[in-house]
Amino acid sequence: MKVKHLKKWKNELITCTMCGYCKNVCPTFLDIGWDSGSARGRNVLAYGMLTEELEPDEVAALRLYQCTLCLDCLRRCPSKVNVPEIVEAARADIVDAGLATAAQKEMIDTVKQAGNIYGTSETRVPPQEGDITLFLGCQYLERPNQVKVILNVFNKLGIKPKIFEEVCCGVPFRNLGFFEDLEKHKEKFLASLPTRELVTFCPTCTLFLKEEYDLPITHATEIVAEKLSGANPKKLNIRKLDIKATYHDPCHLGRGIEVHEAPRKILEAIGITVKEMPLNKTTTRCCGGGGVMLISDAPLAGMVAKKRIEQAAATGVQELTTSCANCVGTLRTAAQASGESGSRMKVRDIWYWLWQALK
Amino acid sequence: MKPEVIKELNEIFGEDRCKTNPSDVYVYGFDAGIHRSMPDAVVRPMNVQEVQKLVLLANKHKVPIIPRGAGTALCGHSVPIDGGIVVDMQGMNKIKEIKVTDLYCVVEPGVVCDHLNAALKPYKFFIPGPASSEAATLGGMMACNASGAKAAKYGATRDYVLGCEAVLPTGEIVHLGGRCLKNASGYQLDRLLVGSEGTLGVVTEIILKVAPLPAKKAAVVPYFDTLRQAGEVVAKIIAEPILPSQLEIMSQTCIQAVNKATGMCLQECAAILLIELDGHPAAVIDEVKVVRRICEELGALDIDYTEDESRIAELWKGRKQMIPSLSSLKEEYATVMLADDMAVPMSKVPDALEAFQEISDRYDIIIPSYGHAADGNLHTKVLMDPTNPDHWKQAEKAVTEVFEAVLRLGGTITGEHGVGITKAPYLFIERSEAIGALKAIKRALDPNNIMNPHKIQEWEEGFVTHLRYPVEAS
Ligand SMILES: Cc1cc2nc3c(=O)[nH]c(=O)nc-3n(C[C@H](O)[C@H](O)[C@H](O)COP(=O)(O)OP(=O)(O)OC[C@H]3O[C@@H](n4cnc5c(N)ncnc54)[C@H](O)[C@@H]3O)c2cc1C
Ligand code: SF4
Ligand code: SF4
């Protein structure tokens, strides 16, 4: 089969020296075990498809969709071979070959029809006017209680946020390789924006809005950290929580756009002492739920998450906090499912703790 | 591959640990070298009994089996030239025993070098590894006799293998060497397996000596106007005598590549030495003084110095990722693994580097030089467009000239990476009178020629073949 989307990656695929530095950083390789389930292996599959030596099939599709797009291979690669984008391009060719799964197609259809990943067009959060414009993203909008907590926090900090009728940023189209649909969706998304300057929550949306649309984005933790750093704690009535927790950097926040100090400053300000896992900030380890893995291979996502929970447990604390609704979901499920090592680990969003300190 | 072979493989490994589908199998046709060729199946054994059953099956059906670790070897070592079954040993990755009071540890062959060192660190011990230590397995290191920047002071993998368990090509499980630091009980067959590149058996367990971690490290980084000056400094340090724990030399192209890929700010000049001294703190401080004096006397342009562990680690990380770093140097060129690890007597390092530079200047490809100057092990790579057939013709000529120069200087075509396919043509020159003996050993141990066939002395063609790159028709 002649590929279309991988063509532009020919140079990178040849430049890859096959050094293997991206093997052991790849969270999915550690659980899949086969070289075809590693970052380097995915490059080779893409190379085979590009040179037409390898006819894409269900196994190639599976291996490529088993990537969480965590970006750790790109960080580690001294040749700066962009494996995650190569994987996405390969997925686009897999889609063209008619090998996307029913679940993947269903998600795409949902976003096409409803404008979001959860599939209902009802307004989850009533629009309101304000001074900064929030882009909550589908992952948070899908969890209205969390949005309430976020709004409470903003309210308490004296920030009035504007809320508008959001349309999904379109990242599932790119992650799953539906590139043509993405182009159409982008117009819809851009038309929905009241302004280009957005304050975001979901790390994946944040990275995508910067990269795909070149929008001037600020992650919400940066705004809150700044507010807390300049503020008089007494005036804000911050209750120091006096808790020890580990902080999990979401890949697209800690590594993708390197926002890792802001969440830590917030935690410090509210009295949470962070016990770091050895893999933190830009070297963070994926929760397992990236790259729309939960619909491509949920058991694998669970295995990757379990490893992260074990790393958290090794710090000796029983609280894990993070700044991503998707990470919270994946890690919480793994913590509940895992045995002795992680079952006592509580997984909570940073917004939960902020509200505990401010309410 | 015959259906009955696949059926028997499935009986041994179950469908979960035996793959014959084209996509999973395709990936195992490549390693970090320039060649590739597809296997018919890949299996992942979990214990020695499974390996034994596999070897017996391979003999019965006369099917090649190719042991494989992380697939980071650089000369097509684990490329299955005749197809067959790749034996992925990465699943056998348990550290079975650490006994520092007896100076040894026992590992399965799929343990990654850095993972073992992480486990040894709390005991204040380590084993020296190659630049690929974050990926390479100990089985692969043993089979290639890998060594790295610390070899001059700490030795190569062969100096750490005390013993092993292996399945011989005819299916016997043997235990060679042992847990003692000394062992003179007959032929040192464990030593024969070191460097055998998977052609004489599958290693299933390794007993390794461990070395104490030094109490202090310091790095001296002098910059030079010429490669020769740098070479002279190396000779003088060794003659002192001081044995640095690492002593690396980098030419200008390499300095540029590392700066570009890592954001490190090494000064760009004709040559840099990265000199690491380790040991007792007082001894390190004394040696640093002497090394600095030598560098100054021999005209170093500038000298950087650090005792900061993280800065030292950063320097070595930059050096370790030289191969992939070079690949990002020039857009249309890629690092191609050719003439990659010759060694010459240390005093000949400057002559060798000048010879490589002169050869590089005559061809339309770039040959950057770097290497472990304290043990005479020099690396070059060829930077070229690997899709261009003319570049391959030039590379073939240039590489031949590089090897000829090395042999003229009394060196070897490979100090650490091994022979595989890529260097086999030159092994016939370096070891011409020993080829018969090498072949006789292979025939005696592997009468059916099933164990990683066509490698080392069994490869009798040139190296511009089975290329992994899409070379355009000329
Ligand atoms: C970026 C980079 C830097 C490198 N730097 C160095 C360096 O500094 N020094 C150095 O020496 N090498 C270096 N290498 C080469 C390579 O990493 C080493 O030779 C390494 O030891 C190979 O280990 P592996 O697990 O990848 O083995 P593989 O590549 O999988 O296999 C290598 C050989 O070992 C055999 N083998 C593997 N496992 C077994 C087993 N259990 N039983 C029997 N045979 C087996 C295979 O058949 C094959 O012939 C480098 C490679 C890269 C990509
Ligand atoms: S993608 Fe980069 S790190 Fe991975 S094998 Fe290729 S060159 Fe090495
Ligand atoms: S993005 Fe993450 S999961 Fe995907 S190949 Fe790279 S390291 Fe592996």
Kindly report the pTM of this predicted structure. Answer: 0.95
In this complex, do A17 and B32 lie within 8 Å of one another by their Cβ atoms? Answer: yes
Chain B contact present for A278, CB below 8 A:
no
Chain B contact present for A282, CB below 8 A:
no
Closest CA of chain B from A79, distance in Å: 5
Beta bridge partners of B163: B177, B207
DSSP conformation letters of B183-195: --SSS-HHHHHTT
Say if ligand 1 is within 6 A of residue B161 CB: no
CATH annotation of A6-96: 1.10.1060.10
Contact B423, B75 (CB under 8 A): yes
Give the nearest ligand 3 atom to A286 CA: 2
Q: What is the pLDDT of residue A219?
A: 98
From the list A23, A36, A78, the residue facing B261 with the nearest CB is A78
| Helices A39-50 & A83-96 angle (0-180, nearest 10) | 50
In this complex, do B24 and A59 lie within 8 Å of one another by their Cβ atoms? Answer: yes
- Give the neighbor-by-neighbor strand order of the sheet with A272-274: A272-274, A243-248, A319-322, A346-349
Chain A contact present for B3, CB below 8 A:
no
Alpha-carbon B417 to chain mean position: 4
Q: Give residue-wise pLDDT tens across range A85-101.
A: 999 999 999 999 999 99
What's the length of chain A?
359
Q: What is the pLDDT of residue A281?
A: 98
Mean of pLDDT values over A189-215: 97
| Helices B227-239 & B281-297 angle (0-180, nearest 10) | 140
- 3-class DSSP assignment, residue B303: strand
Residue with CA nearest ligand 2 atom 2: A77
Distance (Å, whole) CA A194 – CA B108: 60
Residues of A in contact with B261 (CB under 8 A): 78-80
Say if ligand 3 is within 6 A of residue A71 CB: yes
Closest CA of chain B from A150, distance in Å: 38
Residue with CA nearest ligand 1 atom 53: A19
Distance (Å, whole) CA A318 – CA B95: 28
Q: What is the pLDDT of residue A37?
A: 98
Closest-approaching ligand to the CA atom of A301: 3
In this complex, do A19 and B31 lie within 8 Å of one another by their Cβ atoms? Answer: no
If residue B372 lies in a helix (H) or strand (E), which one and from where to where? Answer: strand B369-372
Q: What is the ipTM of this complex?
A: 0.94
Beta bridge partners of B219: B276, B306
Distance (Å, whole) CA A264 – CA A262: 5
Mean of pLDDT values over A196-215: 97
Say if ligand 2 is within 6 A of residue A39 CB: yes
Distance (Å) of CA A62 to CA A99, A285, A306, B297: 9, 21, 21, 62
Q: In 3D, which of B250, B177, B212 has the Cα closest to residue B101? A: B212
Distance (Å, whole) CA B320 – CA A177: 35
Instruction: Strands of A173-291 (E only): list them.
Output: 198-200, 217-219, 243-248, 272-274
- 3-class DSSP assignment, residue B88: strand
Distance (Å, whole) CA B330 – CA A299: 42
Nearest CA in chain A to B470: A51
Chain B contact present for A53, CB below 8 A:
yes
B282 C-alpha to center of ligand 1: Å? 37
**Domain definitions of chain B by residue range:** 93-212, 216-408
Residue with CA nearest ligand 3 atom 6: A73
From A300-309, A329-338, B318-327, the region with the lowest mean pLDDT:
B318-327
Mean of pLDDT values over A192-217: 97
**Domain definitions of chain A by residue range:** 6-96, 132-224, 237-358
Closest-approaching ligand to the CA atom of A43: 2
Distance (Å, whole) CA A322 – CA A252: 12
- 3-class DSSP assignment, residue B110: coil
Distance (Å, whole) CA A20 – CA B136: 8
Interface test with A, best of B27, B87, B256 (most A CBs within 10 A): B27
In this complex, do A17 and B90 lie within 8 Å of one another by their Cβ atoms? Answer: no
| Helices A58-65 & A83-96 angle (0-180, nearest 10) | 140
Say if ligand 3 is within 6 A of residue A228 CB: no
Distance (Å, whole) CA B17 – CA B109: 17
Nearest CA in chain B to A54: B23
| Helices A261-269 & A220-230 angle (0-180, nearest 10) | 40
Rounded to a whole number, what is the largest CA-CA distance in chain B? 72
Q: Give residue-wise pLDDT tens across range A257-297.
A: 999 999 999 999 999 999 999 999 999 999 999 999 999 99
Q: Which amino acid is at A239?
A: R
| Angle made by CA atoms A238, A241, A242, in degrees to the nearest 5 | 130
Residues of A in contact with B321 (CB under 8 A): 19, 21, 78
Report residue B19 as tokens: 């793959």
Distance (Å, whole) CA A198 – CA A215: 8
In this complex, do A79 and B325 lie within 8 Å of one another by their Cβ atoms? Answer: yes
| Angle made by CA atoms B65, B69, B74, in degrees to the nearest 5 | 95
Interface test with A, best of B13, B17, B24, B112 (most A CBs within 10 A): B24
Q: What is the pLDDT of residue B63?
A: 98
**B151 half-sphere exposure, CB direction, 13 A CA radius:** 23
Contact A262, A281 (CB under 8 A): no
Residue A88 CB coordination number (10 Å) = 20
If residue B97 lies in a helix (H) or strand (E), which one and from where to where? Answer: strand B95-99
Residue with CA nearest ligand 2 atom 4: A22
Q: In 3D, which of B91, B47, B66, B89 has the Cα closest to residue B169? A: B66
What CATH class does A132-224 carry? Answer: alpha beta
Query: So what's the architecture of B93-212 in CATH?
Result: 2-Layer Sandwich (3.30)
Say if ligand 3 is within 6 A of residue A42 CB: yes
Give the nearest ligand 2 atom to A19 CA: 8
Distance (Å, whole) CA B430 – CA A323: 60
Contact A327, A294 (CB under 8 A): no
| CATH topology identical between A132-224 and A237-358 | yes
State whether the Cα torsion B427-B430-B436-B442 is positive or negative.
Answer: negative
Say if ligand 3 is within 6 A of residue A83 CB: yes
Chain A contact present for B30, CB below 8 A:
yes
Chain A contact present for B117, CB below 8 A:
no
- 3-class DSSP assignment, residue B53: helix
Distance (Å, whole) CA B221 – CA B302: 8
Distance (Å, whole) CA B116 – CA B127: 8
Residue with CA nearest ligand 2 atom 5: A18
Q: Which of B30, B42, B72, B115 to mutate to test the pocket of ligand 1 (most atoms within 8 A of CB)?
A: B72
Chain A contact present for B42, CB below 8 A:
yes
- 3-class DSSP assignment, residue A248: strand
Distance (Å, whole) CA B160 – CA B120: 14
Q: What is the pLDDT of residue A123?
A: 66
Distance (Å, whole) CA A70 – CA A239: 35
Q: Give residue-wise pLDDT tens across range A146-191.
A: 999 999 999 999 999 999 999 999 999 999 999 999 999 999 999 9
Report residue B158 as tokens: 């062969």
Q: Give the CATH number of domain A237-358; options: 2.20.25, 3.40.50, 3.30.450, 3.30.460.
A: 3.40.50
Contact A50, B15 (CB under 8 A): no
The residue written with tokens 């070297």 in the block is: A283
Could you tell me the pLDDT band of residue A341, with boundaries at 50, 70 and 90? low
Report residue B174 as tokens: 């043997």
Residues of B in contact with A34 (CB under 8 A): 19, 24, 27, 42, 44, 88
Say if ligand 1 is within 6 A of residue B371 CB: no
Q: Which amino acid is at B15?
A: E
Give the nearest ligand 3 atom to A71 CA: 1
In this complex, do A17 and B91 lie within 8 Å of one another by their Cβ atoms? Answer: no
Contact A308, A334 (CB under 8 A): yes
Alpha-carbon A285 to chain mean position: 12
In this complex, do B261 and A23 lie within 8 Å of one another by their Cβ atoms? Answer: no
End-to-end CA distance of chain A: 59
Answer left, alpha or beta for residue B469, where phi above 0 means left and psi between -120 and 50 means alpha.
Answer: beta
Rounded to a whole number, what is the largest CA-CA distance in chain A? 67
Residues of A in contact with B135 (CB under 8 A): 19-21, 23-24
A280 C-alpha to center of ligand 2: Å? 22
Digits of tens for pLDDT over chain B (474 positions)? 999 999 999 999 999 999 999 999 999 999 999 999 999 999 999 999 999 999 999 999 999 999 999 999 999 999 999 999 999 999 999 999 999 999 999 999 999 999 999 999 999 999 999 999 999 999 999 999 999 889 989 999 999 999 999 999 999 999 999 999 999 999 999 999 999 999 999 999 999 999 999 999 999 999 999 888 998 898 899 999 999 999 988 888 888 888 887 777 788 898 899 999 999 999 999 999 999 999 999 999 999 999 998 888 887 877 777 767 777 667 778 888 898 899 999 888 878 888 988 898 888 777 877 888 888 898 888 888 999 999 999 999 999 999 999 999 999 999 999 999 999 999 999 999 999 999 999 999 999 999 999 999 999 999 999 999 988 876
* DSSP classification of residue A306: H
| CATH topology identical between B93-212 and B216-408 | no
- Homologous superfamily, domain B216-408: FAD-linked oxidases, C-terminal domain (3.40.462.10)
* DSSP classification of residue A219: E
Q: What is the pLDDT of residue B320?
A: 73
Contact A304, A287 (CB under 8 A): yes
